[in-house]
Structure 1
Amino acid sequence: MALDRSVKGREALARTIGQLFSEEEVALSELERALMTDILGKLISDVEKLVRQALSEELAVTKTVPHELILMLANDDIEVARPILMNCDILKDQDLVDIIKSRTHQHQLSIALRNELSSEVSDALVNTGKKDVIKTLLENKNAAISELTLEYLADQSRRIDDFQEPLINREDLPTHLAERMYWWVSAALRDHILKNFPVDIQDVDNKIQSSVHKLVDKDKIKPRLHAPATKLAQKLKQNNLLTIDSLVQSLRQGEVELFESMFCEMSGFRPGGLRKALYETKGEGIAILCLAMGIPKQTFATIFLLSRKGNPRGHTTDPRDLSRAMLIYDKVNRDDAQLITDSWRMDPKYQDAISEIESAASDEKTASGAKAS
C-alpha cells in the first residue's frame, strides 16, 4: 500500500494504520508502533481533511497512540482536531494550554467541553477573556476550577449576565460566593422592577430577601438544624397559637431562647437582627419593634424589662433606658415605626448590593453628562 502513490492509496494506508492502532487485540512491538507513527506523520498532511477527520475520531478514544501523533492531530484544522481535543486522554495539560494560547477560538471551545479539565487548563481558558469560552467552561461539570478563579468569575458576573446561571449551578461554588451572587442578581432585579413597574418597594424588598435567605440556607453544605425553640415557635405559628400573651409568658418563665424564636416568627426578623434590636440599643430598638407590631404600651414595658433581665450578654439595665424607650414609644407614630423596622430587616449584603447598583448608575449618568457637555 505504501508503494501506491495515488490519493486513494494514501488514504487507504492511513485508515488501515489508524485501525491497527485502535484494535486492542493486536499486539504491536515498539518498532512497529514507531514505523506506523512515522508513516502516519508523513501521510497526514497529504490526505483529504475528511480522512484526517475520520482518523482523528478513530484515534481519539484509543489509549495506545503515540503522543506526538495525537499532538499533530490536535493542532490540525478544527474539524480534525475537535474529537482529539474533546475526548483524547493522551493530551497533557501543557499540550492543552499551548493549544489554547496558539490555536483558534473553536479549538478553545472544544477544550472547554472535555470530559475532564484540570484547574491549570481552566485558568488558561479563563485567561482568553472570551465570554462564550468561559461560559462553556462553567457549564462543564467535570472541569476543575480553583476557588480563586471562581471568585474572579463571580465578580465578573456583576457585569456579564451570561456567567451568572452557570456559576450558581456549579456544585463547587463556595457558599459565600453563591450568597454574594444572589444579592447582586437580586439588587439588579430590584432596580429593573422599580424602573418598569409601579410597585410597593418595601413589599419587593421583603419578598426578595425572603427568597434569597431560603436559597442561602438551602446552599449550606450541611443543612442547618433548627433548635427545638425554633421548631416550637414555628409549630405555634402554624397552629395560630403564636400570640403576644404567649410571647410574654415565655419571658416570664425564663425561656429567653423560645421568646427570641417566637419574636422572630412574629416580626419576620432573622435572629441576628432581632438580638441587635433587643440588646444592642438603649431601649429604642425594642420600642420601635413593639410599636410597629401593634403591641400595647404596657405589654411593651413588660417585654422590655423581662427581656433585659434575661439578656444573654449579662449587661445591667440603666433605669433611664425604660424612660427613654417609653418616650420613643409615645412620640413615634406606628407608620414611621413600620418603615424603620422594614429598613432594619434589610440584609446588609442586600443593602451593599443595592448601593453598588445605584453608585454604578450614578457614575454612568455623570459620565454621560460629561460626554454630552
Structure 2
Amino acid sequence: MHTKTDGLKMINDLLSLAQDSTPEKRHQLVEHVTELFVTGADSYQTEEITLFNTVLEGMLPTMEPEQKKTISEQLAPIDSTSNKVAYELAREEIDIARPMLTSSNALKTEDILRLAKTMGQGHLLAISKRKHLESNVTDVLLERGESPVKQSVAANDGAQISDWGSRLLIKLAERDEKIRDAMMERADVTESDYNRLIEQMPSQQQAKIRQMRKDNEDLINDLFHKASKVVASSKLERKATRINAKATLKEIRAGQRTLGKAITQLALSNNLFDICFLLSEMAGLEQKYVTNVMVRYDSTGVAVLCRAMGVENSDYHALCKARATHNKQPQSTAENWANDYQSLSDRDARRLLSFMKIRLQTLEAQAA
C-alpha cells in the first residue's frame, strides 16, 4: 500500500540525490526516478507525479543520448509523463524520438502538428504510425512526406484523411501499388473512389476483385435488410464463462493477447455472443451485422471477418464447431467451413471487409 509517509520519504530521497551534481549521481537519479515513475504511475498522487516530471525535465539537458533513448522507450506508454518531457524527447534524433512520436499520449495534437511541420522524414514516418491522427496532421504528412510516409499514412486505418488527402492518395495509387493496396483496405473511401482504385489494377486482378464483390453483394444486401430481424430472433445468449469480454478486448488492443486465442476460449464455451462483441469492436462493424453473419447457415461473412482480423486456422476451426452446434448443423459442415477458410487470403479478406463497410455505409445513407 502506498502511503503519504512513503511519498514524503521518496521526495526527500530524490531531492538529496538531485543536489549531488556528479554525472554518475545524476545518471543514477534519472534511472531511479524513471523506474519509480514507470512501476507506480497508476497509484501515485498528483504531487508525486509532478515531482517525477520536474526532476526529469531538469535532468534532460545533461543526459547522454543512450539514456534519453532508454527513458523515451520507458515513458512513451505512461500517459502521466509531462508534456514538456514528451515534447523535448520527440524533437531529439529519431532513435530517441521514435517511441514518443509513435505512441505517447502526453503529446497534444498541436505538438504533433508542429513536429510534422518542422522535423525530418524519420520523424514524419514515426508520426504516421500513431494509432490516431487527425486530418490536419495527415495533410501535413502527405504534403511533406516522401513515399514511405505517404504509404504509411494510407495503411494507417486510425489516420483520418481529408478530401484533399484522399484525392492525392488515389492519384498516387496509379503508380504506387503499396498505396493502392492500402487504400483498398480502408473503409473511409467512397464507392466511386473504390471503383477508381480497381480500375488502376492489372486486368487479371480487376476481374478477380470484381467477381469477389459480385459474390458478396447478395450477402451485404441481406445483412443490411435483415440484420435487425436476425438479431431479434437469433437467441444468441452470453454463456457463463470466466472470460470478461471487455477486459479481453483491452488485452487484445494492448497486444497482450490475440483475438484468435480469445475466440477459441469463448468457442469452447459456445459463447458466440461475446465472440460477436470482440469481432464487432476489432473490425469496426456494427454488432448487428456481425451477429447476422455469425448465425447464418453459410460461412462467407464470418470467414471474411476472421481472416481480415488475422484469426489463425486453428482458432477459426474452434469457432466453426461452435457455430455448427448453435445452428444444429452437422460437424462435417464445420470441417468444410474450416477447409474453405484456408484458401481465403488475408489481403482478399481485408478488401472484402472494406468493401462490406463501404457498401453498408452507402445503403444506410440511402435509407436515411
Rounded Cα–Cα distance in structure 2 between residues aligned with 1:168 and 1:221: 20
Give yes or no for the alignment of 1:223 onto 2:220.
yes
Rounded Cα–Cα distance in structure 1 between residues aligned with 2:221 and 2:167: 24
What's 1:350 paired with? none
Shift of residue 62 of structure 1?
A: 1.0
TM-score by length of 1: 0.50
Pairing 1:55-134 to 2, within 5 Å after superposition: 55-134=71-150
Classify the secondary structure of the residue corresponding to 2:220. coil
Rounded Cα–Cα distance in structure 2 between residues aligned with 1:151 and 1:89: 29
Is the 8 Å Cα contact of residues 37 and 69 (structure 1) preserved in structure 2? yes
Is the 8 Å Cα contact of residues 49 and 80 (structure 2) preserved in structure 1? no
1:153 to 169, 193, 208: 169
Give yes or no for the alignment of 1:24 onto 2:21.
no
Rounded Cα–Cα distance in structure 2 between residues aligned with 1:210 and 1:2: 69
Is the 8 Å Cα contact of residues 175 and 219 (structure 1) preserved in structure 2? no
2:188 to 166, 172, 178: 172
Is the 8 Å Cα contact of residues 155 and 179 (structure 2) preserved in structure 1? no
Report the residue type matching 2:45 in the other structure. L
Decide whether aligned partners of structure 1 residues 56 and 212 sit closer, same or farther in structure 2, where only a CA change above 3 A counts. Answer: closer
Is the 8 Å Cα contact of residues 175 and 220 (structure 1) preserved in structure 2? no
TM-score by length of 2: 0.50
Shift of residue 132 of structure 1?
A: 0.6
What's 2:272 paired with? none
Shift of residue 215 of structure 1?
A: 4.6
Rounded Cα–Cα distance in structure 1 between residues aligned with 2:218 and 2:63: 54
Give yes or no for the alignment of 1:7 onto 2:23.
yes
Classify the secondary structure of the residue corresponding to 1:173. coil
CA-atom RMSD in angstroms = 2.6
Shift of residue 39 of structure 1?
A: 2.6
Is the 8 Å Cα contact of residues 157 and 164 (structure 1) preserved in structure 2? yes
Decide whether aligned partners of structure 1 residues 98 and 219 sit closer, same or farther in structure 2, where only a CA change above 3 A counts. Answer: farther
Classify the secondary structure of the residue corresponding to 1:2. helix
Is the 8 Å Cα contact of residues 82 and 110 (structure 1) preserved in structure 2? yes
What's 1:201 paired with? none
Residues 256-287 of structure 1, C-alpha deviation per residue, up to 9 Å, x if partnerless? Answer: xxxxxxxxxxxxxxxxxxxxxxxxxxxxxxxx
Decide whether aligned partners of structure 1 residues 4 and 163 sit closer, same or farther in structure 2, where only a CA change above 3 A counts. Answer: same
Give yes or no for the alignment of 1:49 onto 2:59.
no
Shift of residue 144 of structure 1?
A: 2.2
Shift of residue 131 of structure 1?
A: 0.8
Rounded Cα–Cα distance in structure 2 between residues aligned with 1:208 and 1:16: 57
Shift of residue 3 of structure 1?
A: 3.0
Rounded Cα–Cα distance in structure 1 between residues aligned with 2:215 and 2:106: 40
Rounded Cα–Cα distance in structure 1 between residues aligned with 2:218 and 2:134: 23
What's 1:321 paired with? none
Shift of residue 29 of structure 1?
A: 4.2
Is the 8 Å Cα contact of residues 217 and 223 (structure 1) preserved in structure 2? no
What's 1:213 paired with? 210
What's 1:344 paired with? none
Decide whether aligned partners of structure 1 residues 52 and 158 sit closer, same or farther in structure 2, where only a CA change above 3 A counts. Answer: same
Deviates more, 1:213-222 or 1:164-173: 213-222
What's 2:333 paired with? none
Rounded Cα–Cα distance in structure 1 between residues aligned with 2:119 and 2:92: 9
Report the residue type matching 1:121 in the other structure. V
Residues 334-364 of structure 1, C-alpha deviation per residue, up to 9 Å, x if partnerless? Answer: xxxxxxxxxxxxxxxxxxxxxxxxxxxxxxx
Is the 8 Å Cα contact of residues 41 and 49 (structure 2) preserved in structure 1? no
Between the two proteins, the alignment pairs up a number of residues equal to 205
Residues 4-42 of structure 1, C-alpha deviation per residue, up to 9 Å, x if partnerless? Answer: 323221111112222333313543343x54444333222
Report the residue type matching 1:223 in the other structure. I
Decide whether aligned partners of structure 1 residues 218 and 139 sit closer, same or farther in structure 2, where only a CA change above 3 A counts. Answer: farther
Rounded Cα–Cα distance in structure 1 between residues aligned with 2:205 and 2:76: 49
Unaligned runs of 5+ in 1: 190-206, 226-373
Larger radius of gyration: 1
Classify the secondary structure of the residue corresponding to 2:132. coil
Decide whether aligned partners of structure 1 residues 77 and 221 sit closer, same or farther in structure 2, where only a CA change above 3 A counts. Answer: farther
Unaligned runs of 5+ in 2: 1-16, 223-368
Shift of residue 109 of structure 1?
A: 0.7
Is the 8 Å Cα contact of residues 118 and 143 (structure 1) preserved in structure 2? yes
Rounded Cα–Cα distance in structure 2 between residues aligned with 1:67 and 1:156: 36
Report the residue type matching 1:101 in the other structure. K
Decide whether aligned partners of structure 1 residues 7 and 170 sit closer, same or farther in structure 2, where only a CA change above 3 A counts. Answer: same
Pairing 1:328-367 to 2, within 5 Å after superposition: none
